[in-house]
Amino acid sequence: MFYEWKGCSLKPLRQKLLILLCAVLLWQWSGGKAMAAAPTELSRPRIGLALGGGSALGFSHIGVLQWLEEHHIPVDAVAGTSMGGLMGGLYALGMSPAEIEVFVKALDWNHIFDSSPPYNALDFRRKEDRLEYPIQEIGFRHKLIIPNGLSLYRVSLLLSRITLPYSGIASFDELPTPYRSVATDIRNSEPYVLKDGSLAEAMRATMAIPGVFTPVEREGRLLVDGGLVNNVPADVVKTMGADAVIAVDCNDNNRGRDIRGIDSVLMGSLNTVIIENTRRSLEAADVVIHPEFQNVSFMDWNKIDEFVSAGYQAAASQASALQKYALSESEWQIYQQQRAGRQRTLAAVPEAVMVKGTNELNRKAIQSQLRPFLGKPLQLDALDKVLIEISGCGLYESIRYELAFEETGTVLLITAVEKNYGPPFISFALRGTYDGSNYTALNAGFRTTAYHILGDHSELRLDFGVGSTPYLSGELYKPFANSSWFLAPNLSLEQTDGSLFSAGQWVRGYELTSGHAGVDLGYTLNKFAEVRLGYSLGFQRPETGVASDLDDLDGSVRKTELRYTFSQADEEARRSFLGTLTGSWYDKAPGAQGGFGTAETRIRWSYPVGSRDLIVGTLAAGLSFQGDLPLIQQFKLGGPLQLGSYPFQALQGDNYGLGTIGYLKYLRKLPLTRKNLYLGAFFQRGGVFEKWSAPDLSSDVSFGLVSPTVFGTLYIGTSFGKEDKGRFNFILGNLF
């Protein structure tokens, strides 16, 4: 058969060759560019959108998108950097501007960037770490290693959820709107455009602010925020085949800013780098939208309405330049239908779990915990909760999930990113106390934890402190296979201070050196509670520097102890309940006529009032059995928030009781740390006495400033008691 074409006859093979040649010439003429994901050929200009970074300022992109949609201006491709990468990614997934606004307003921006799981999700031993050593951990692998940044476990789970329907796509061109995110490869010192692979990982990488959040490892590259090299990726949109590029630059500039102090100089320098690369990138843009911000900053995450309004107004100010890209009503409806037609919904029933990025032991543990999700529709709320619980073991920087579609069925694919700086891990504490009289203590504490020292899930914990009251202790935690039972051999050596009083007057202080070696049999009830039964052999040696009646208190100590511990708190410890119940039997102790026993309970709690205030309280009591207690084993009160109008250990005896009720009134956020500052008022009633049938109680009122810090809670105040004498108090660490 022959075909007629402009008067020439061609055989089919020659016709195919000619068509191929024309296609190659057309590709060369277009520079090899292609606008993917368009189901039909467009007769209009292809419009690309470049969205810049700027932290919370990036919410202004929502307002720009709103204006574009209201005026029927299509977006055929979108690329973004940092916050622009997140906003652009949400739009590329098929969300409307209104849906994006609802989505970001529903997020808890006070906690979205938390670097560790909430307190209740932590394993019981990690709860102990958080309470006793609150300062950010570092690692030790042949040398001390500081983390690359804060982990973003919530962000990883959030991105996993919203991108899940698009698991396994070959390219981001398959999204309802073709998408690119821009990162900086600091290993090769170059920009890196993410166009395929894990969509959640791509959106996470472009947001990894260097020195703040952990980088993303991908195919040998180490990726951080793309704002360092290409903050408004107009050139990237151009390479996606856009005929016209609309760029949104929401970064604030340095002009008119009062740059004083090292923090302002550093921020101004970083801003200069971003502004300069933005100027180069914007050369590829046809229209530039620059929102103006009044009385808001890049850290105002909860002022979304103001940012959206700024973006909308900025787009409106460019109406004359943008209107030429507007579609007619019928064209707009076709565009919307085509975009909606490429959206995907999730109806996943995973048949297997696959875990990447961790060792064999942890892989099996994760698979075991996720087995209940197999063979039924995936419940994302429940999945997120379990993955946060898994993060509570303290081994992972982040965990994300997606789906893989195999011949055998749908697979729930988990990527667990282990912390690359440990184990072992080292955490820190700084503690201080001043009673306004004779007692001052300041200590730095360190805890090192190594894992799998003696079998699966075993831990070696070493604690040591330097300062006023030095100490050294260690514990080997060895759980029995596949059970909650454990053995814990332990030892300690410490030096503490004590005070001697006579008729309410301080006589002298003494230094107590003590130590023990023992073993505990324990059972972990759940993430919140543990019970232990232990036996220990030890010694004690009090010293005053002069001959004294304390010499008969020098000797060996043998003790059996049963302890129950409960620990529960919400994310900010605004609602918490922590308690211990301890029973001890001393077979031997210096100064005792025979065996004796003690029992003690200590409970502390907090409860929120309104959105910022707190009520806090404590209840503590101790009692003795079988005769008088030796001085060292007596219960003691006195010092800050332990009846603070009395000096340290001014009250000593065989039994005691103490109750506290306090109110913390929110004052303001502290600069830099953004921690709450409170005015605290506390009422205490308690005392130390010989018999519970005749308790000798007194009252105490304290006032002061309270604020959580990276070192622990800080309290500076004064206490008043029955003698109406104010006494200055200072605490750094735990208040009670």
pLDDT band at 40 (very low <50, low <70, confident <90, very high): very low
What is the distance between the alpha carbons of residues 350 and 356, in angstroms, rounded to a whole number? Answer: 16
682: containing domain: 425-733
What is the distance between the alpha carbons of residues 59 and 86, in angstroms, rounded to a whole number? Answer: 10
693-731, pLDDT tens digit by residue?
Answer: 889 999 999 999 999 888 889 999 999 997 667 899 999
| pLDDT for residue 39 | 41
Is the pLDDT assigned to residue 458 strictly greater than 70? yes
Residues 356 and 397 in one domain: yes
| pLDDT for residue 271 | 66
- Average pLDDT estimate for 7-29: 37
Total structural domains within the chain: 3
DSSP line for 555-607: EEEEEEEEEEEEEEE-TTSSSEEEEEEEEEEEEE-TT-SS-EEEEEEEEEEEE
Pairing verdict, β 287-289 and 244-248: parallel
Is the pLDDT assigned to residue 19 strictly greater than 50? no
pLDDT band at 547 (very low <50, low <70, confident <90, very high): low
Q: What pTM does this model have?
A: 0.84
Last residue of a domain, one of 341, 369, 402: 341
CATH of the domain at 381: 3.10.20.310
- Residue 289 placed within a domain: yes
Residues 414 and 515 in one domain: no
- Residue 7 placed within a domain: no
More confident residue, 156 or 30: 156
Residues 333 and 376 in one domain: no
Residues 598 and 689 in one domain: yes
Closest to 373 (Cα-Cα) out of 391, 388, 353 = 353
Is the pLDDT assigned to residue 1 strictly greater than 50? no
What is the distance between the alpha carbons of residues 649 and 504, in angstroms, rounded to a whole number? Answer: 11
CATH of the domain at 557: 2.40.160.50
pLDDT band at 22 (very low <50, low <70, confident <90, very high): very low
Evaluate whether 559 touches 585 at the Cβ level (below 8 Å). Answer: yes
Is the pLDDT assigned to residue 139 strictly greater than 70? yes
Number of CB atoms found within 10 A of residue 27's CB: 12
Kind and range of the H or E run holding 205: helix 199-205
Q: Determine the residue type at 314.
A: A
SS3 210: coil
44-92, pLDDT tens digit by residue?
Answer: 899 999 999 988 999 999 999 999 999 999 999 999 999 999 999 999 9
What is the distance between the alpha carbons of residues 102 and 505, in angstroms, rounded to a whole number? Answer: 65
Residues 292 and 401 in one domain: no
Q: Which two tokens stand for residue 125?
A: 């031993």
How many whole angstroms from its chain centre is CA 725? 44
Q: Determine the residue type at 596.
A: F
Evaluate whether 222 touches 198 at the Cβ level (below 8 Å). Answer: no
403-445, pLDDT tens digit by residue?
Answer: 998 888 899 999 998 888 888 999 999 999 999 888 999 999 9
Closest to 165 (Cα-Cα) out of 343, 10, 429, 351 = 343
pLDDT band at 546 (very low <50, low <70, confident <90, very high): low
Pairing verdict, β 425-434 and 440-451: antiparallel
pLDDT band at 37 (very low <50, low <70, confident <90, very high): very low
Last residue of a domain, one of 317, 341, 365: 341
SS3 280: helix
* Beta partners for residue 586, in sequence order: 559, 596
What is the distance between the alpha carbons of residues 468 and 432, in angstroms, rounded to a whole number? Answer: 9
Is the pLDDT assigned to residue 16 strictly greater than 60? no
What is the distance between the alpha carbons of residues 60 and 101, in angstroms, rounded to a whole number? Answer: 10
Residues 441 and 397 in one domain: no
SS (HEC) of 519-565: EEEEEECCCCEEEEEEEEEEEEEEECCCCCCCHHHCEEEEEEEEEEE
Evaluate whether 242 touches 50 at the Cβ level (below 8 Å). Answer: no
Last residue of a domain, one of 309, 341, 373: 341
Give, in order, the Cα–Cα distances in Å from 11 to each of 7, 17, 18, 19, 337. Answer: 13, 10, 11, 12, 41
Burial of 277 (0-12, 13-18, 19+ CB in 10 A): buried
Residues 360 and 413 in one domain: yes
Evaluate whether 701 touches 724 at the Cβ level (below 8 Å). Answer: no
| pLDDT for residue 354 | 95
Which residues form the catalytic set? 82, 225
- Average pLDDT estimate for 154-178: 93
What is the distance between the alpha carbons of residues 698 and 342, in angstroms, rounded to a whole number? Answer: 74
CATH of the domain at 79: 3.40.1090.10
User: Where does 210-261 show beta strands of DSSP type E?
Assistant: 216-218, 221-225, 244-248
- Residue 367 placed within a domain: yes
| pLDDT for residue 318 | 95
- Residue 11 placed within a domain: no
Closest to 246 (Cα-Cα) out of 99, 92, 64, 96 = 64
- Residue 218 placed within a domain: yes
Q: Hey, what's the torsion of the CAs at 641, 643, 645, 646, to 10 degrees?
A: -120
* Length, in residues, of the chain: 736
- Residue 153 placed within a domain: no
Q: Which residue is associated with the tokens 């507007």?
A: 326
Q: Which residue is associated with the tokens 């250990």?
A: 649
Least confident of 184-198, 474-488, 512-526, 721-735: 721-735
Residues 465 and 603 in one domain: yes
pLDDT band at 38 (very low <50, low <70, confident <90, very high): very low
More confident residue, 153 or 368: 368
pLDDT band at 140 (very low <50, low <70, confident <90, very high): confident
167-183, pLDDT tens digit by residue?
Answer: 989 999 999 999 999 99
- Residue 158 placed within a domain: no
| pLDDT for residue 63 | 96
Closest to 650 (Cα-Cα) out of 716, 583, 702, 700 = 700
- Residue 8 placed within a domain: no
Residues 357 and 444 in one domain: no
- The average confidence (pLDDT) of the chain is 87
Kind and range of the H or E run holding 313: helix 304-316
Residues 447 and 413 in one domain: no
Residues 548 and 498 in one domain: yes
| pLDDT for residue 147 | 78
Residues 550 and 668 in one domain: yes
- Average pLDDT estimate for 306-331: 95
589-639, pLDDT tens digit by residue?
Answer: 999 988 999 999 999 999 999 989 999 999 999 999 987 899 999 999 999
